[in-house]
A and B are shown apart, each in its own frame.
Chain A
Amino acid sequence: AQTVTQSQPEMSVQEAETVTLSCTYDTSESDYYLFWYKQPPSRQMILVIRQEAYKQQNATENRFSVNFQKAAKSFSLKISDSQLGDAAMYFCAYRKARGDYKLSFGAGTTVTVRA
């Protein structure tokens, strides 16, 4: 079974500053996908960024970037130039590349942005 661990229940960041959220995972698979989802108070899960395990290059989406360390099974999310709208719960998720389509989620990190 795959487990996803987010060790930071809460993080606070000043507006315009940078915050990094940690995620580690456990798997015996060599090919898989990793995701960061954002969940604001509306409960709507929004995909922020995805990473294919076979790609060495770290994914980037505007102000969001990841640091994917496959050997260490680590997948951190960096939010640059934080905005008030970034305040939400962030979940790290894992999915096998084949044979199993469900997402396995970490417990989440609540991000607060200070004005």
Chain B
Amino acid sequence: GAGVSQSPSNKVTEKGKDVELRCDPISGHTALYWYRQRLGQGLEFLIYFQGNSAPDKSGLPSDRFSAERTGESVSTLTIQRTQQEDSAVYLCASSRAPGTGVGNEQFFGPGTRLTVL
């Protein structure tokens, strides 16, 4: 596709359930990032992929959060045993490469709004 896509657009779940959020990066983009945006706040970094490896997982808030990526394609963010504090918009971004060039702009998807009841 032309841009980064994410699914679902919205997800409502009950506390304690597991959820999977999907990100399809721009074709050819080797780098992929997940961010979390709580209501009225800025984005917090969660994890970064280069290809299918994750050299930086420093932003994952707990071991309930995990992510994987298939090759240089789709990524899935999984949240186990969801808590109300997990309610947020989860945004995915991709870039051509993680290099230092300013041209490696991160292009964002529209996000998934997760609501945990």
Task: Verify that A and B bind, or say they do not.
Answer: yes
Q: Is B65 an interface residue (CB 8 A)?
A: no
How far, in Å, is B19 (CB) from chain A's closest CB? 18
Q: Mark B99-117, 1 if CB is under 8 A from A, else 0.
A: 0101011101111010000
Q: How many residues of A contact B (CB 8 A)?
A: 24
* B111 near A43: Cβ-Cβ < 8 Å: yes
* B48 near A106: Cβ-Cβ < 8 Å: no
State A50–B31 Cα separation when bound (angstroms). 19
* B45 near A102: Cβ-Cβ < 8 Å: yes
* A104 near B110: Cβ-Cβ < 8 Å: no
Count of inter-chain pairs, beta carbons less than 8 A: 56
- A36: chain B residues at CB < 8 Å are none
Q: Mark B35-79, 1 if CB is under 8 A from A, else 0.
A: 100001111110010000000100100000000000000000000
How far, in Å, is A110 (CB) from chain B's closest CB? 9
| Among candidates A33, A52, A91, A100, residue contacting B43 with C-beta atoms closer than 8 Å | A91
| Among candidates B45, B95, B102, B104, residue contacting A104 with C-beta atoms closer than 8 Å | B45
State A52–B102 Cα separation when bound (angstroms). 8
- B35: chain A residues at CB < 8 Å are 103, 105
State A106–B41 Cα separation when bound (angstroms). 8
In the complex where A42-B110, A43-B89, A44-B108 touch, is A103 in contact with B102 (Cβ < 8 A)?
no
State A54–B56 Cα separation when bound (angstroms). 26
Interface-central residue, A97, A102, A106, by most chain B CB under 10 Å = A102
Residue pairs across A and B with Cβ atoms less than 8 A apart, 7 shown, are: A6-B42, A43-B89, A44-B109, A44-B110, A105-B35, A105-B42, A105-B44
Residues of B within 8 A of A (CB): 31, 33, 35, 40-45, 48, 56, 59, 89, 91, 93, 95, 98, 100, 102, 104-106, 108-111, 113
